[in-house]
Structure 1
Amino acid sequence: MIIGDGHFLRAGLRAILESQEELNVVAEGNLGETLSMISVVRPELAVLHCPSYAQAIPALTDVRKKTKCPAIVVTTEPIPEIHVCQLLTQGASGIILLEGAPQHLPWAVIATSRGSRALSPEISDMVISKYTAPAIEVAQKEAAREKICTLTSRERDVLALLSEGMSNKSIAQTLIISSGTVKDHVRSLCAKLGVESRFHAARIAWQANQFCGST
């Protein structure tokens, strides 16, 4: 069953689904008819098109009131990760972006009708990155700290100041050393960190988040 406002939209979704021999659309209607249509038709699965998250939540809430509610695949426009989680929590079995529906809706419907979950590749990447990004950040931080720990105490002092955007002259005045000595320290720490410029060195300092103790 297809539910969504707009005859042409539903016709497009029907054409996508019926291009697969194993899929058969038994009914279609507007969003306002969601609950009544499901009660009468009792489909195994419903494709619910909602242009926005705000429209999808009430429809899903109504469907969940049914003793035996069908699997629901929501087609929608791009939405943030937090709304993806809320749609899944409210009972959506799948979420497919409308622009990718011709390619992804058929397999999503088949998968959800068999009890699986289905997400557009873009949404899957967004959800997965939520869990993998922290691990990547931790790895980058540890690598940066290991590099910084190869520096001498004075080189770490210089790195800390240049990462704050200070010039060689300002660093020299702060540490009470000559500008030439600062330049030597910058050259040395860049070589140890494996970078070509002070800007790249500052990025490693930022990734490390904090400096290792003096050696």
Structure 2
Amino acid sequence: MKVAGSLDGRTALPNGDSRWITSPQARADGHAWRGRADAVLTGIGTVLADDPRLDVRLAPTKRQPDLVVVDSGLRTPLDAQLFGLERGLHIYCGGGTDSGQAAAIKARGARLVALPGPLGRVDLRSMLLDLPRHGIKVLHVEAGAVLNGALLQAGLVDELLIYMAPCLLGEGLPLAQFGPLGALAQAHVLNFDSIERVGPDLRIVARLRPRGSDAEALSA
């Protein structure tokens, strides 16, 4: 899971403005990491807010990773930039695959899969079990706070790739939305693999500890 933000953990201003918190060097490095994956995962909130391409443009690559979109209500605009690129496009929804919108999305070349979960959302665990059947084993997440939080809370994140800019934003959007937690023992505890300078920013690579070890780590 890749996130970019300020020193106080904000990925955007309250109005959603995030271009650009981190430096050109960090963005190019992020594209290089994006290119290592079999696919990039994002959510419908990011698609609607930013209309991203989420391809590799700022680093050399021999192939473009597939794109995976979590879109519970099939709200992906048919003129979104994610269509029309030479790569696989996988859209997971919570149902309604027999609708006119579903037919139009399929006509644009997307693979559409309904995996309904609670409250009409996409069953994320089932999605991650389905993707390897289509050649996707390394998944690079670039999503908003809601989907990031859902993946973390479900225990579906192995590694965090964090670009941290030397600035403070105060109020703003967090890197992940979950909680509030009732105790420190419920926190997601990380092991730092590396911390390096990329231009003026820091690149932090950290792995999630198994949840069973969290309470011991926080009480030590």
Instruction: For CA contacts below 8 A with separation 6 or more, give which structure has more relative contact order.
Output: 2
Larger Rg: 1
Shared fold per TM-score greater than 0.5: no
| Greater share of residues in helix | 1
| Greater share of residues in strand | 2
